[in-house]
Structure 1
């Protein structure tokens, strides 16, 4: 980026066209976004501050954990003149030019928040080594770039249409597909690794593209259920607030969970995925089992936790079993199934039922 005569500013980029409108693509450093980008309420939705904070955390976590992080291009419109230098491949605009954001205001605000957060941490740090480390992160962050697509010759009505087309016509992948392609969350990573390599899960088959499984489907569960089940085993809840599973502990937990899952499905009925016969193949039951495993493996003083897992093979998992009565659901004769009143009720019901049934053994 260079300033010419304090009037024009130039960005390296390329020029194209879409439906008769000139279109430009360039890269803007993070620390220059505030100088050029502006949000006009008439062509944008209201800013969602929690979403901005989540993206900012995603950016800073990417730097802290040195993992791959990706921010897609910001789309803007420019009502001022743009000159394109074919020979130098530069986009030249007046230094006072403002680009109207049509898609990416949350990304833009998150980048600014991430920078401001690091600056605040630097100011508040009294430890020289810590401050130097934070300054290195700030320099790295400020010099990162984000791709920007610039549309020209578009009026306010056109900008509103552009916002609509970019935000409302894009297809959103379902949860299982999203998890299958997401490696930023350690639980997603663990679920995918075990789904591909664990002996019992390979036998029972994990559905990685759908969010639900029909009753007559012989797959044991969807990927998102496996992810949540693993979180319950490790933490006893559906969220890991203490970050027990992280890059440092990943291999240890992977090996332990691989053993636990193999032991579990070795003692459960061989046809555990038969939903007409057993309650096992439901999200609530599997997560409830996960919560119970957390109790006997990590919370109780059980030296023989393998023996505790094997006890699950003594449970009558059929829909007609009296084990589940009084634990958040009921047997529906018309369906020949035991049905929980909700997922949370089912998780806690299975957990309590197993705890009470097996403490007698």
Structure 2
């Protein structure tokens, strides 16, 4: 159906309307379940400036009725992750533009920045879903002009903005990239001490090449880096809320193992693909599943999800791979190789029925070992001698990972028997009187098998203490504090 211009009006009416020059936007007219919608493609900057979000904070700031809220609270951490993704995309857009022009002057600068932001084979943004509230249902009162080629030009008047239904975190990420990073960096010619990107060498003053790169990135945000927008017309807040619910709850979440397999933009996943898989360092078969293995059907494989988590702990001490920065991984490839080679050479690891032969078949044990690598390599306990002691012990099989090694079941043994089985271990682990849950698994004395519980964080911590005791490494500082506090309570009670 052809949309036409409004009828002629008077200069006085235009002045009162306050919109002398309408904002033209090229759109395609579509229909979703019979409801008229528009589809547009806009530069990042233009979309941000022409949009708003109806979350509690913004509605309160605008002094509007709470009934107009149709979105959740903003998650700054999530928006920051998207902003770093967008910044990487803008740098790659500059890279493609210069390559098309056979301009190699910024090749080294761009390569250095992308190394730190993280390699990625492809980037794209999901379309934004918005609503124009200030119009009649279906947009029947919006001003538009249909061209001879079938294209439609939409003219937005004063106050007619895009209310974001799905995409508020992407919108905030645009704000962080443009107003929080690119504009300040290009104007001051310095990196902020904390921001979306800070060079790992700590040099905050931009070089001439970096100045040009970020100016080109800002220009890309204004022009050729765009976002697709699906525009609903004249929905009320109740309809907006329903649309928000449907868009965010009807999609099926991708299993973590499959997501990790596909996502080579994450530095941890990239290490696993480049090193563990391509170099065939990991002995155990890698499987794309999130469910726990059935103990009696174990074929020696490990879940990609568990390997990703172990690598996140190894490189950055993180349980969320999304929080691992590329620099933490890129500088530690050799360390990662050494660790996983040592793991793969432990007897029975990766073999069928390995569950019954080694505790290392249980992912929580590998995670405890990975956490110790990070502890001695990059945490406050960083110590190259302790790191070497630990890695050498792994390589030389000085840690017995068989189920019958009493140190693995030490928490399941009566206090009176612990010293008999492992002399000196009582002073190396959390005391029972400290009030912590020390049940880390169950010992099957008939089958001679130790099964650890799935409460990974607690189990990792206690297993780490046992391994430290075995290798004569210093006690965990937090454990020392717990022991001191426990002794004070005992002496006070006495």
Distance 2:254 2:393 in 1: 39
Paired residue for 2:146?
85
Unaligned runs of 5+ in 1: none
Paired residue for 2:393?
308
Would the aligned equivalents of 1:316 and 1:323 in 2 still touch at CA under 8 Å? no
Distance 2:310 2:161 in 1: 49
Distance 2:326 2:84 in 1: 16
Q: Higher strand proportion, which one?
A: 1
Question: Structure 1's 272 and 279: CA in aligned 2 closer, same or farther, altered over 3 A?
Answer: farther
> CA offsets, 1:287-317, max 9 Å, x none?
12223455788822788987533323x5432
Of residues 197, 205, 214, the one that matches 1:134 is 214
Of residues 27, 32, 35, the one that matches 2:49 is 35
Question: Structure 1's 225 and 10: CA in aligned 2 closer, same or farther, altered over 3 A?
Answer: same
Paired residue for 1:105?
168
Of residues 282, 286, 299, the one that matches 1:218 is 299
Larger radius of gyration: 2
Question: Structure 1's 306 and 163: CA in aligned 2 closer, same or farther, altered over 3 A?
Answer: closer
> CA offsets, 1:11-47, max 9 Å, x none?
3342221111122221111111233212234222222
Distance 1:241 1:152 in 2: 41
TM-score (norm 1): 0.81
Of residues 205, 208, 213, the one that matches 2:288 is 208
Of residues 321, 327, 333, the one that matches 2:444 is 333
Of residues 115, 135, 142, the one that matches 2:178 is 115
Alpha-carbon deviation of 1:323?
A: 2.0
Would the aligned equivalents of 1:198 and 1:262 in 2 still touch at CA under 8 Å? no
The worse-fitting range, judged by mean Cα deviation, of 302-311 and 29-38 is 302-311
Distance 2:327 2:43 in 1: 31
Would the aligned equivalents of 1:175 and 1:211 in 2 still touch at CA under 8 Å? no
Counterpart mapping for 1:6-21 below 5 A: 7-21=21-35
Distance 2:339 2:444 in 1: 34
Distance 1:221 1:124 in 2: 50
Paired residue for 1:228?
309
Question: Structure 1's 125 and 343: CA in aligned 2 closer, same or farther, altered over 3 A?
Answer: same
Paired residue for 1:184?
265
TM-score (norm 2): 0.61
Provide the secondary structure at the position in 2 that maps to 1:69.
Answer: coil
The worse-fitting range, judged by mean Cα deviation, of 314-323 and 71-80 is 314-323
> CA offsets, 1:248-290, max 9 Å, x none?
x4xx71x663454234312332537622443212222011222
Distance 1:46 1:356 in 2: 46
Paired residue for 1:269?
348
CA RMSD of superposed structures (Å): 3.4
Paired residue for 1:323?
407
Question: Structure 1's 339 and 223: CA in aligned 2 closer, same or farther, altered over 3 A?
Answer: same
Would the aligned equivalents of 1:37 and 1:99 in 2 still touch at CA under 8 Å? yes
Distance 2:466 2:259 in 1: 33
Number of residues paired by the alignment? 349
> CA offsets, 1:98-139, max 9 Å, x none?
222111111112102210112123333365735444323322
The worse-fitting range, judged by mean Cα deviation, of 261-270 and 326-335 is 326-335
Unaligned runs of 5+ in 2: 1-18, 55-67, 92-112, 191-204, 378-382, 412-428, 430-437, 474-494
